[in-house]
Homo-oligomer: A and B are copies of this chain.
Amino acid sequence: MKNDPVVAIAGVTGAVGAEFIATMDKRAFPVGKLKALASARSAGKTLDFRGRKVLIEELSENSFEGVDIALFSAGGGVSRRFSPIAVKAGAVVVDNSSAFRMDPNVPLVIPEINAGRIAEHKGIIAVPNCTAITALMALWPIHRRNRIKRVILSTYQSASGAGAAAMQELIESTRASLNGQAYPPNVMPHPYAFNLFSHNTPIDPTTGYNEEETKVIQETRKIFEDDRIAVGVTCVRVPVLRVHCAAITFECERPISEGEVRAILTNAPGVRLVDDRVRNYFPMPIDASGQDDVLVGRIRKDLSDPSGHSIAMFVSADQLLKGAALNAIQIAELLPQRAMA
């Protein structure tokens, strides 16, 4: 990649868009020029970037001329339509949507797990589903030493996964609830204040699994390059703003102790142990919020498997950071140097 790439952000006004910019700043990601792209509704506004005002432009077929890196986070439809155009214009696309994740020609990358796949890209690299990233960051260091045969996870997913409008709806509907006022849900399918509900993605009528769950199952296999890993998952939306959590039970091919898991995860990149039984202190959203690391704790033997092959644990990660923007910027940092255009 050039030393001062032209970077386009498609979806710059969204929840992840804002974190792309914050993360680039935090990591001093080199940017020659920023192209801020959004829908017509936001075009003409400006945003602050490294001391300058940047005009927000409407995303169009002409947006990608001269762009080196295009970060997409504007939904699958926008990615499907504009990513090929960006690639044709010479950009490398790092796509946060689900549009290309299962495309065999598209690397699906969590840098701590499979950074080596980045070099194989044909123009598009996909950022995995945020729940998959959260869980796999903690599972991979174990899996590579003692193959995980089976995983059962239940998620506690925040509003941010459904975007900035969903976060706002959680805030405003909670305020209304506290004031005894009605608040008909607008973004989410169900009332969100002091409530929780099954993940708001369509359900496969045959399997009964929703799209979020299906993504976790499929993406785990692709990222681990293990088609046999058995995954059972229940995805639930909880009234939390921007951190996803998961209760995970996994079974290894060989026996494994909680001490081994703790030792492995202590040295795992991007993972931080928060596992204090005496203080009853474990991963939770307020501590993971705004943090790069995936927090892991409650590591203990799964008492439902007397064979000693199974462990239970709990993970929390900022859905907008490691679950989206940070993972994308980490990929962009690893793009190979290219000749100047």
* Interfacial residues, chain A to chain B (CB-CB below 8 A): 150-152, 154, 156, 170-171, 174-175, 178, 189-191, 194-198, 200, 202-203, 205, 207-210, 217, 230-234, 236, 238-241, 245, 247, 249, 258, 277-278, 280, 282, 284-286, 297-306, 310, 312, 314
B277 & A203 in contact (Cβ 8 Å cutoff): yes
Neighbour of A203 across the interface among B151, B209, B280, CB < 8 A: B280
**Please, how many angstroms separate the alpha-carbon atoms of A175 and B231 in the complex?**
39
B151 & A154 in contact (Cβ 8 Å cutoff): no
Residues of B contacting A284 in the complex (Cβ-Cβ under 8 angstroms): 190, 195-198
Residues of B contacting A152 in the complex (Cβ-Cβ under 8 angstroms): 152, 249, 302, 304
**Please, how many angstroms separate the alpha-carbon atoms of A59 and B286 in the complex?**
40
Pull 19 A–B residue pairs with CB atoms less than 8 Å apart, ordered by A: A156-B236, A174-B174, A174-B194, A175-B178, A178-B178, A196-B238, A196-B240, A198-B298, A200-B280, A202-B280, A205-B277, A205-B278, A210-B280, A231-B304, A232-B312, A234-B249, A234-B298, A239-B239, A239-B240
**Please, how many angstroms separate the alpha-carbon atoms of A230 and B303 in the complex?**
7
Name A's interface SS. Answer: mixed
Nearest CB in chain B: distance from A221 CB, A: 12
Residues of B contacting A197 in the complex (Cβ-Cβ under 8 angstroms): 282, 284
Given contacts A194-B285, A300-B208, contact A247 B234 (CB under 8 A): yes
Chain B residue at minimal CB-CB distance from A179: B175
Residues of B contacting A277 in the complex (Cβ-Cβ under 8 angstroms): 203, 205, 208
A241 & B190 in contact (Cβ 8 Å cutoff): no
B196 & A312 in contact (Cβ 8 Å cutoff): no
Nearest CB in chain B: distance from A154 CB, A: 4
A249 & B230 in contact (Cβ 8 Å cutoff): no
Neighbour of A234 across the interface among B200, B217, B234, B312, CB < 8 A: B312
B198 & A240 in contact (Cβ 8 Å cutoff): no
**Please, how many angstroms separate the alpha-carbon atoms of A190 and B297 in the complex?**
16
